[in-house]
A and B are shown apart, each in its own frame.
Chain A
């Protein structure tokens, strides 16, 4: 590795960092050939950036040369930045050598569009193929599908990658066309739908030549840029819901728009909308693990998530007649909907109450946010006498007593 590689790595890692996805979980790839690596099981964050994001994969662009001019992107053709391109060999060697030192779980490779979509996609696929076949690499590979690439190449990508993603980026086609004139939704949805079909097909294959063969075993994901265009949270969440249901995506990532340019097609934000991004992740989490529907999470009259309180509390305050919930008898699904109770504490409540009555002192030690949950539960010795709280009053109270917790991790205790 020489100084040139170092210089390229700086440029091409820098240009890739705005894609927020870094997951390396959900694959089923095992080390069966005595080679290098293993991608089964949950992903691992090998380090964390100073902004607290997980570093799990070597996330780079093959090149930041691009023929397109999407306003929100640092690599857009009209932007004055240093350009560079890796060779296939360089990416392969970096991936393997980082992996062997346990720096990473694998490779996340994306690219600007060089010449045309197929020309670019062909190179991405070649890197994945070399890693798998020549180097017996079983670590995680996430490839970006280049919009407009042919089905054949997309299919081949699926044979070598663990996860594939096509980014919608802008949450409505109308606004996408305004700021990324060369792009449209069809070029994103076509490969997504094609991949969905293939993934289901390979999974269902019980005999024949493809039996047991992996095809993008960690599924697909996409990214939405938030705050660059005027879509509401209600719109964004229902878009995500349809992506989870119709395209069966594994993850939708939200990326608070970071002003990377003074391009006049975009708003001049002072700082990225991180709190809004965080609320969207919380809402997304509620859809995936708590049984919420997108439309429950916002109101038609108030189509954006409240930045002051998390979306679960807000939902509860809009639906006071569903509370209090009887902690001794209510079904799991309802316990899970209580603000301040997470998946883990809900399970503890369900398994423990089979052995006897739950008391306040038990609840307080089961990892739930008791001071929040207490307004919404009853049936134990410490139940509040008055449960007919006025939503507005309780809301003000909760806002003033909440220490806002910034950053993605707060999701896990919601």
Chain B
């Protein structure tokens, strides 16, 4: 039996609520596509029902907060088949508490651990590779383009760290971002076309000191190199080329 949901985490949790409640066994779970010719549009559509998503979360959190956290990360991974993987993990967890986190003989357990690791690494990379530019009216802007949809996982980190500056971190691939206004952080959609692209903001838009600091940073980076120890392979393993785009230190001059 195939189930369809609206693409959100809450929507997906409602599917699990239904299948576990009514003892159904899904063969597939998909996001409902609007196009009627899509292969994925045939199946039972599970509606969002108030309270269902939260009840599933509560139940899973009771078995282990870490487990619930992992499931959410798997959802964000955009990995094909993630909905069924999560379904099987929940089933395993309900049968035997904590087996889903500890029995690495099981291929689903290994896979879920690998996906979580991948997401964590991407989150860590965003913590590292975000580069803010200061605008003339004191907003700090950073474009990013993560491999996975990690925006919902990185807000807290930057909120704690940059509590006294207004900032925006923007995913230019998925076209949404986080905006912190000194009080709270919100998801936003923005249009930067007025000021060039977010990547290449026009000079009038930037703070007078911004370019100067970028230059200092590039210079600093140059000076930290020890020529006698050069090791390009190791270097690329740490910072794959696709991340260089927003790193000023990699574009001297």
Residues of A within 8 A of B (CB): 1, 5-6, 9-10, 13-14, 17-18, 30-31, 34-38, 44-55, 58-59, 94, 97-98, 100-103, 136, 258-259, 271-272, 274, 348, 351-352, 354-356, 358-359, 362, 365-366, 406-407, 409
Please judge, given known A-B contacts A102-B142, A351-B103, whether A14 and B213 are in contact too, CB under 8 Å: no
Please determine whether B129 and A409 come into contact, CB atoms closer than 8 angstroms: no
In the complex, the answer to whether B219 meets A9 with C-beta atoms within 8 Å is: yes
**B213 adjacent to A101 (CB under 8 Å):** yes
B20 CB-CB contact with A under 8 Å: no
- Expressed in whole angstroms, the Cα–Cα distance for A359 and B164 within the complex equals 54
Indicate whether B171 reaches chain A with its CB closer than 8 angstroms: no
Contact pick for A37, options B99, B161, B221, CB 8 Å: B161
Nearest chain A CB to B93 CB, angstrom units: 13
The SS class assigned to the B binding surface is: helix
Q: Which of B203-253 contact A (CB under 8 A)?
A: 209, 212-213, 215-217, 219-226, 228-235, 237-239, 247, 249
Which B residue sits closest to A35, measured CB to CB? B164
User: B217 to chain A: which residues have CB within 8 Å?
Assistant: 98, 101, 103
Expressed in whole angstroms, the minimum distance between the Cβ of B125 and any Cβ of chain A is: 10
Contact A406 B231 (CB under 8 A): yes
Specify which of B132, B221, B233 is in contact with A102 (CB 8 Å cutoff). B132
> Which of B131, B215, B220, B228 is the one whose CB lies under 8 Å from A13?
B220
- Residues of chain B within 8 A of A35, CB atoms compared: 163-164
- Contact flag A38-B161 (CB < 8 Å), given A44-B124, A94-B216, A351-B104: yes
Closest 8 CB pairs of A and B: A52-B234, A51-B229, A13-B223, A351-B102, A48-B238, A407-B234, A355-B103, A352-B104
Q: Is B165 engaged at the interface, CB distance under 8 Å to the other chain?
A: yes
Chain A interface main SS type: loop
Q: How far is the CB of B39 from chain A (nearest CB, A)?
A: 32
Output the least CB separation between A381 and chain B (Å): 13
Contact B105 A44 (CB under 8 A): no
Q: Kindly identify which residue among A103, A259, A359 contacts B105, using a CB–CB cutoff of 8 Å.
A: A359
Is A14 touching B238 in the complex (CB atoms < 8 A)?
no
Chain B residues, Cβ within 8 Å of A50? 225, 230-232, 235
Query: What number of B residues sit within 8 Å (CB to CB) of A?
Result: 51
Q: Is the CB of A52 within 8 A of B160?
A: no
Residues of B with C-beta under 8 A to A48: 235, 238-239
Complex contacts, A55 vs chain B, CB 8 Å? 221, 224
Can you pick out 17 interface pairs between chain A and chain B where the beta carbons lie within 8 Å of each other? A1-B213, A31-B163, A36-B161, A36-B162, A45-B128, A45-B238, A48-B238, A51-B234, A100-B134, A101-B134, A101-B140, A274-B229, A351-B104, A354-B102, A355-B103, A407-B231, A409-B234
Contact in complex: B231, A58 (CB < 8 Å) = no
Q: Tell me which residues across on chain A come within 8 A of B162, comparing CB atoms.
A: 36, 100
CA A204 to CA B226, docked complex, whole Å = 41
**Interface residue? B48 (CB, 8 A):** no
B229 and A272 contact, CB distance less than 8 A: yes
Q: Which of B140-185 contact A (CB under 8 A)?
A: 140, 142, 160-165
- Chain B residues with Cβ below 8 Å from A366 are 104, 110
Nearest CB on A from B224, distance (A): 5
B223 to chain A, nearest CB (A): 4
Q: Is B127 an interface residue (CB 8 A)?
A: yes
Counting chain B CB atoms within 10 Å of each CB, the highest count among A17, A52, A358 belongs to: A52
Query: CA separation between A113 and B128, bound complex, in Å?
Result: 33
- The reply to whether A355 and B102 contact each other, CB–CB distance below 8 Å, is yes
New A-B contacts (8) at CB < 8 Å, excluding given A6-B219, A356-B105: A14-B223, A31-B161, A36-B164, A50-B225, A50-B232, A51-B230, A53-B226, A358-B105
- Determine whether B112 belongs to the interface, using a CB cutoff of 8 Å to chain A: no
A40 CB → nearest B CB, Å: 8
Which residues of B sit under 8 angstroms from A14, Cβ to Cβ?
223
Find out whether the CB atom of B163 lies under 8 angstroms from the CB atom of A36: yes
Q: CB < 8 Å: which of A51, A97, A103 contacts B231?
A: A51
Q: Are A44 and B127 in contact (CB under 8 A)?
A: yes
Tell me which of B133, B215, B238 contacts A52 (CB under 8 A).
B238
- Taken together as a complex, chains A and B put the C-alpha atoms of A313 and B231 apart, in Å, by 25
Report how far A55 CA is from B248 CA in the complex, Å: 14
Interface assignment of B130: CB less than 8 Å from any CB of chain A: yes
CB distance from A335 to the nearest CB of B (A): 14
Q: Which residues of B contact A34 (CB under 8 A)?
A: 163-164
Most buried by B among A136, A352, A356: A352
Are the C-beta atoms of B223 and A17 separated by less than 8 Å? yes
Given A17-B223, A51-B230, A55-B224, A102 and B130 contact (CB-CB distance below 8 Å): yes
Contact A102 B131, beta carbon cutoff 8 Å: yes
Select from chain A the residue with minimum beta-carbon distance to B129: A46
- Which one of A59, A101, A258, A355 lies within 8 Å of B131 (CB-CB)? A101
Q: Do residues A47 and B216 form an inter-chain contact, with CB atoms below 8 A?
A: no
**What is the chain B residue whose CB lies nearest that of A345?**
B104
